[in-house]
Amino acid sequence: MKTTAFFGALVLSISMFAQAPSVSSAKIAMDRGDLTEAKKYIDEASGIINEQPVETRNAKLMPKYYAYRGQVYYKLFKDEALTAPEYLDEASQSFADCIAFEASTGKKRYSKEAEEMLPYVAADYITMAEDNNFNKGNKEAAIKAYESAYKLRQTLGTLDTLTLSYIGYLSQDVKDFTRAEEVYKSLIDMNFKNILWTGILLEDGQRYPFPDKKTLDFYIQTERAAEPQRSESIAHEFYIQLLWVYNETKQTEQYDAFLKTARAAFPNNDNLLKMELQSFLDKEDFDGALANLEEALVSDPKNALYLYNAGFIYHQKKKDLVKGREYYSAAMEADPGYLDAVYMLGLMHIDASNVVVEKMNDLPRNAKKEYDKLNAEKDVELANALVYFEKAYGINAKDDATLQALREVYYKLGKYDDAKRIMEEMGNI
């Protein structure tokens, strides 16, 4: 029994010492450019180490092993023209393990170099993510690469909010709404302004975004980038995206509550105002919608969209024809090419003519004088409608609603040739 125990200890001791030649040989092979041999030796060392309990591993050798393994696999990744993501994963993990190990021992020998390598590894993950997203259309792989870059930069003490925002956008694209919601909430809680830092990569002369000024400065100092630029904040975008997530996932209460928060944070944002307007309309809260529009028109009195929507609510929902016509006219004045406003003004005259027709139908048979008077009023309304519908036709000659209205008015006014022409145009569309 004693002999067996001694023999086992001897084997363990030999295996521990066997690590060193493999690790050193990997370094030598790597330095002379023989990556195949370097991989063989470092994998041999990995096999020996992985068979050992953590507590028995050589504390002096481990950071050296992690550092060299990271270097070998990073060179392998670069040698494969960035097409072997598993090699980059191995390099990233090894560098991170090196940093963590020396942090636990309080001795820093190899981790400094590992820390210097991690920004490059993170940049390669970003390159991989962009390639998967824009060139290959593989958004899931892009998310994975962005996640790796984000975590690496966290290891380095950098809060890479830009990359986190990309994770949110892509998660939303692939309908991973849980992850998207988590990301947008994090960005909002961080009060991330999304002030974008960009620079020209000297490698290809193209402008690229950087996660922060610190990273951009690093690239400039190492003569890898030039011409830094700073953009304005688009923080409101994360509020909007989170609202879309709530809408897609039918979280109505969260949507309504957060919409109020977003409007309070960005009271002058048009997109948020439109979302609030739509929320009022969906709930048929027309008074709330009108209050929303009136607020918007204070700062933007010539906004045709706001004017039109106010007109529509007054006309169709509140049955206030005077106010409806007033706002439609204002919308058309603000934008003469606003088809919907022009069409609705014509429709109001059609509605008025129909009211006159109902009065005509209620007359007794012998009321010819009253009938002729009302008939003349009807024709005036139709003629007024025609002015707007012909204007709408000039804006868009293929709009189906406009063509149908024109055909009807031409026919009612006895303009049969024009009615026939419109019918032919409708048949050719």
* Domain CATH code at residue 416: 1.25.40.10
Q: How confident is the model at residue 361 (pLDDT cuts 50, 70, 90)?
A: very high
Q: What is the mean pLDDT of residues 192-210?
A: 79
The predicted pLDDT at position 270 comes to 80
Say yes or no: 185 and 105 in one domain: yes
Residues paired with residue 200 on neighbouring β-strands, in sequence order: 207, 226
- 8 pLDDT tier (thresholds 50, 70, 90): very low
Instruction: Among 185, 204, 238, identify where a domain stops.
Output: 238
- The answer to the question of residue 245 being in a domain is no
Domain stop point among 238, 266, 282? 238
The per-residue pLDDT for range 38-78, each reduced to its tens digit, is 999 999 999 999 988 888 888 889 999 999 999 999 999 99
- Please report the sign of the dihedral spanned by the C-alpha atoms of residue 367, residue 369, residue 374, residue 378: positive
In terms of phi and psi (left: phi > 0; alpha: psi -120 to 50; beta: otherwise), the region of 113 is: alpha
Same domain, 101 and 220: yes
User: How many domains is the chain built from?
Assistant: 2
Single out the residue in 238, 263, 289 at which a domain terminates: 238
pLDDT band at residue 158 under the 50/70/90 scheme = confident
User: 3-state SS of the chain?
Assistant: CHHHHHHHHHHHHHHHHHHHHHHHHHHHHHHCCCHHHHHHHHHHHHHHHHCCCHHHCCCCHHHHHHHHHHHHHHHHHHHCCCCCHHHHHHHHHHHHHHHHHHHHHCCCCCHHHHHHHHHHHHHHHHHHHHHHHHHCCCHHHHHHHHHHHHHHHHHCCCCCHHHHHHHHHHHHHCCCHHHHHHHHHHHHHCCCCCCCEEEEECCCCCEEEECCHHHHHHHHHCCCEEEEEECCCCCHHHHHHHHHHHHHCCCHHHHHHHHHHHHHHCCCCHHHHHHHHHHHHHCCCHHHHHHHHHHHHHHCCCCHHHHHHHHHHHHHHCCCHHHHHHHHHHHHHHCCCCHHHHHHHHHHHHHHHHHHHHHHHCCCCCCHHHHHHHHHHHHHHHHHHHHHHHHHHHHCCCCHHHHHHHHHHHHHCCCHHHHHHHHHHHHHC
Answer yes or no: do 366 and 413 share one domain: yes
Q: Looking at the structure, do residues 146 and 272 belong to the same domain, yes or no?
A: no
Q: Is residue 315 within 8 Å of residue 348, measured between CB atoms?
A: yes
pLDDT at 279 over 50: yes
pLDDT band at 362 (very low <50, low <70, confident <90, very high): very high
In a domain, 40, yes or no: yes
Q: pLDDT by residue (tens digit) across 164-177?
A: 999 999 999 999 99
Domain of 412?
252-428
Res. 319: pLDDT tops 80: yes
Q: Is residue 296 very low, low, confident or very high in pLDDT (cuts 50, 70, 90)?
A: confident
Give the CATH number of the domain where residue 29 resides: 1.25.40
Q: Rounded mean pLDDT of 89-109?
A: 93
Q: How far apart are CA 413 and CA 408, in angstroms?
A: 9
pLDDT at residue 82 in the model: 60
